[in-house]
Amino acid sequence: MQATAFRAGQLSIETKSGTILDRMVEARRGAVEHRKRVLPEAALRLGVLKGTPVRDFSATLARNAVNIIAELKKASPSRGVIREAFDPPGLAADLEASGAAALSVLTEEEHFQGSLKDLRDARKAVKLPVLRKDFIFDPWQVWETRANDADSFLLIVAILNDAQLRDLLELGRGLGMEALVEVHTNKELRRAVDAGARIIGVNNRDLKTLEVRMDTSYELVEAIPDECIAVSESGLRTNDDLKKLREAGFDAFLIGEQLMQSPDPAAALRLLLRTGAARSA
């Protein structure tokens, strides 16, 4: 495939070689281009007008509490299928009842076996705000996100240039959504702050290698402005992990595999919030 002018910082995301992240985003771009031909933006705008009111994702994460964004994820590139019995509305309701502050739902089909239907079904089952987690790089996807009733969406700094990051943040706000802006390095964090991000997620998993390193959160948290909501993502396993990260300055925690691999995700969440390590499958 011939590379186009679209760049993600220094990373060309249209390439048949390169990192795991390159390949996942390349595949996503093809899927998005197909969907754009089938469903024009005008139809999405109509869907937004008919949609449900946005739930306040930012306010939920800013509470003085252990705010866990519980993630519904059937599979991942690093683990394959994580949860065979994947019931988004049932999981969502159980996690809400067990103390989740918000939900995150994977909607990428090829590598995570997710869907927008999973997001809609999960959101209908709860009163919590719901984040759409996907590779989002096109304004059309932001319209698609709100048309499917999501309350927030993920922006990964590593796959966006500065103009795209600002434009997507602004469009989301125009639709009532505040994005979770994900970083992995100091350079990405500076770019997120410069773009005006208000919710900054530090991903302990390097998306280019899929390796998890918890020190990433501790190394970056001091550089997150006080006015921003700080979220630690990936590799969080125990109540002690959450306690230490709260003391370091994090406001919220995105946890997926640790819950989804448990025989009882709701019980695992309750244990994380209260008394110790969550069970593993």
Q: Do the domain assignments include residue 216?
A: yes
Q: Do the domain assignments include residue 6?
A: no
203 is catalytic: yes
Catalytic residue among 67, 152, 232, 234: 234
Higher pLDDT pick, 18 / 259: 259
Q: Do the domain assignments include residue 1?
A: no
222 is catalytic: no
Angstrom CA distances, 204 to 29, 124, 194, 217, 242, stand at: 25, 30, 21, 6, 14
Catalytic residue among 67, 76, 203, 204: 203
Tell me which residue range forms the domain holding 211. 20-274
Q: Phi, psi at residue 187, to the nearest 5°?
A: -65, -45
- Band (pLDDT 50/70/90 cuts) for residue 1 is very low
Higher pLDDT pick, 211 / 218: 218
Catalytic residue among 14, 26, 71, 178: 71
Catalytic residue among 26, 96, 108, 182: 182
Average pLDDT, the chain: 91
* pLDDT tens per residue, range 74-113: 998 888 999 999 999 999 999 999 999 999 999 999 999 9
Q: Do the domain assignments include residue 89?
A: yes
Write down the pLDDT at residue 210.
83
Dihedral sign, Cα of residue 104, residue 194, residue 146, residue 140: negative
* pLDDT tens per residue, range 107-160: 999 999 999 999 999 999 999 999 999 999 999 999 999 999 999 999 999 999
182 is catalytic: yes
What percent of the chain has pLDDT above 90?
Answer: 85
Residue 122 — left, alpha, or beta (φ > 0 → left; ψ -120 to 50 → alpha)?
A: alpha
* CATH number of 113's domain: 3.20.20.70
Q: Do the domain assignments include residue 2?
A: no
* pLDDT tens per residue, range 236-247: 999 999 999 999
Does residue 17 register a pLDDT over 70? Answer: no
Cβ atoms of residues 146 and 121 within 8 Å = no
Residue 223 — left, alpha, or beta (φ > 0 → left; ψ -120 to 50 → alpha)?
A: alpha
* pLDDT tens per residue, range 30-74: 999 999 999 999 999 999 999 999 999 999 999 999 999 999 999
**CA–CA separation, 166 vs 149, rounded Å?**
22
Reduced to 3 states (helix: H, G, I; strand: E, B; else coil), residue 166 is helix
Does residue 277 register a pLDDT over 80? Answer: no
Say what the pTM is: 0.90
133 is catalytic: yes
Q: Do the domain assignments include residue 279?
A: no
Dihedral sign, Cα of residue 41, residue 46, residue 49, residue 55: negative
Q: Do the domain assignments include residue 246?
A: yes
Q: State the DSSP string of 110-148.
A: TTT---HHHHHHHHHT-SS-EEEES---SHHHHHHHHHT
Number of domains composing the chain: 1
Catalytic residue among 14, 26, 73, 144: 73
16 is catalytic: no
Cβ atoms of residues 53 and 89 within 8 Å = no
Residue type at 249? G
